[in-house]
Structure 1
């Protein structure tokens, strides 16, 4: 049975149903989590502790699950993995061309961290990072519980998180719980067949309000990254 909201027109109600379905839940739970997230954000914005509110929300069952959305179907898609692995970038050494892109992203958006990430079947490999110091190839490969880029890949669209600590989906992720990340903005790197192989992302340990301008800047830099990854070498004339 379709759940409708009186202030939503037919199109908005359809979009609401689709968003809830993509989040793996029903409309009522989806709306409850969105309202809960806004309540927590409003309290924190006015310097009021949200600890009691979060406790009641958890007791009510709105935020009672530690489970993250299941993205395994998209992440493990054979065609996507073939596209990723054919680039030859997994476990490859640093490349100044990608380092320039991540530095530009961090500087343009004013964040301490930026990365070109490649999402494999069970790990995220950072082809380039800004703000993490010099890392070995081994150190640039991280398990999914230390990354959220796989969710950007699964969505195939920009993932915008202003404060993961109050986000009903991501507040239970280890990077949010541990305080390593609050704000995140990620743009998928999509090949010509529509497969997202990774992201260009920026993040901050403090909350951020991302504007449409921020999304556009990062999208433009992501397009440059895609062109670099999937560039076709010029053919030699006979």
Structure 2
């Protein structure tokens, strides 16, 4: 059993090692995913935000270096102009891309399991993530998009700048919606004969 090394105070907690990244990248490229936004993914993110009553939601594909929000919902409807305001009120512009060591989706992809963080500050492992200080993220709910071979292509997730009691209902909802989108991706795969 592996354990995370101790984290020096004030240092970035490293994203877990992702041994499946090369296979994921090949699969994403074959499917034509992870390089450009798609209206269907934006619509899915909008629907996910409504269902979860969350201000932000994403359909996120992850490669070896970065995350790409192929689907994005923000409260003001901006699609890539501004993901969130900084905690000091300044506007940040990560757009549809985010470094792989930011956020919680890379953890979901490596674990291949949903992750519920009702208040990220309650979890020392996650409280030091850059999105907490830079964007003010306080709660996260995400699930992996598993293809038929078991590769986690990415995630769907919702986030809030306030703590949220997602509960069992939130967990079941995010898992069901991830399975729904994974099914759509599989049908897309079949149509293209990949």
User: TM-score normalized by structure 1?
Assistant: 0.66
Name the counterpart of 1:233: 191
Higher relative contact order (CA 8 A, sep 6+): 2
Deviation string 1:97-142 (CA, Å, 9 cap, x unpaired) is 2223211211111110011000111100000111161227x93122
Larger radius of gyration: 1
Q: Is 1:72 matched up with 2:17?
A: yes
Q: Is 1:87 matched up with 2:31?
A: yes
> After superposition, where does 1:27-176 map in structure 2 within 5 Å?
64=9, 66-74=11-19, 76=21, 78-95=22-39, 97-131=40-74, 133-135=78-80, 139-176=95-132
Q: Quote how far apart the aligned CAs of 1:191 are.
A: 0.9
Q: Is 1:180 matched up with 2:106?
A: no
Q: Quote how far apart the aligned CAs of 1:65 are.
A: 6.4
Q: Quote how far apart the aligned CAs of 1:224 are.
A: 1.6
Q: Is the 8 A contact 1:124 1:147 kept in 2?
A: no
Q: Name the CA distance, whole Å, in 1 between partners of 2:157 and 2:120.
A: 15
SS of match in other structure, 1:184 = strand
Q: Mind listing any 5+ residue stretches in structure 2 that lack a counterpart?
A: 82-93
Q: Name the CA distance, whole Å, in 1 between partners of 2:138 and 2:35.
A: 27
Q: Is the 8 A contact 2:156 2:178 kept in 1?
A: yes
Name the counterpart of 2:88: none
Name the counterpart of 2:162: 206
Q: Name the CA distance, whole Å, in 2 between partners of 1:225 and 1:156.
A: 15
Q: Name the CA distance, whole Å, in 1 between partners of 2:17 and 2:78.
A: 30
The structure whose residues are more often helix, as a share, is 1
Name the counterpart of 1:28: none
Q: Is the 8 A contact 1:75 1:150 kept in 2?
A: no
SS of match in other structure, 2:120 = coil
Moved over 4 A (4+): none
Q: Mind listing any 5+ residue stretches in structure 1 that lack a counterpart?
A: 1-17, 26-60
Q: Name the CA distance, whole Å, in 2 between partners of 1:133 and 1:176.
A: 21
Equivalent residue for 2:4, pick from 24, 32, 37: 24
SS of match in other structure, 2:113 = coil
Deviation string 1:7-56 (CA, Å, 9 cap, x unpaired) is xxxxxxxxxxx5xx3x525xxxxxxxxxxxxxxxxxxxxxxxxxxxxxxx
Name the counterpart of 1:7: none
What count of residue pairs does the alignment treat as equivalent? 177
